[in-house]
Amino acid sequence: MWDPYVWETCYRYIFTAGVRHYWPIVLALGNAGIALLFWWLAQKLPINPVLTLVLLGGIESFPGHLRAIYNMEILATPLLKGVSATSALVFGFFEFIFYWCFILTLASLLNGLFFHHKVPKVLP
Give first-to-last CA distance, the chain, whole Å. Answer: 53
What are all long-range contacts of 85-92, with beta carbons under 8 Å and residues at least 24 apart? 89/61, 89/62, 89/65, 92/61, 92/62, 92/65
In the chain, what are the domain boundaries?
A: 31-115
Given a cut of 70, is residue 15 above it in pLDDT? Answer: yes
Tell me: the pLDDT tens digits for 35-93? 999 999 999 999 999 999 999 999 999 999 999 999 999 999 999 999 999 999 999 99
Quickly state the pLDDT bin for 119 (edges 50, 70, 90).
low
Neighbours of 74 (CB within 10 A): 20
Q: What is the pLDDT of residue 45?
A: 93
- The residue that leads in pLDDT, 117 or 25, is 25
Q: With pLDDT > 70 as the criterion, what percentage of the chain qualifies? A: 93
Q: How confident is the model at residue 3 (pLDDT cuts 50, 70, 90)?
A: confident
What is the number of alpha carbons within 13 Å of residue 99 lying toward its C-beta?
16
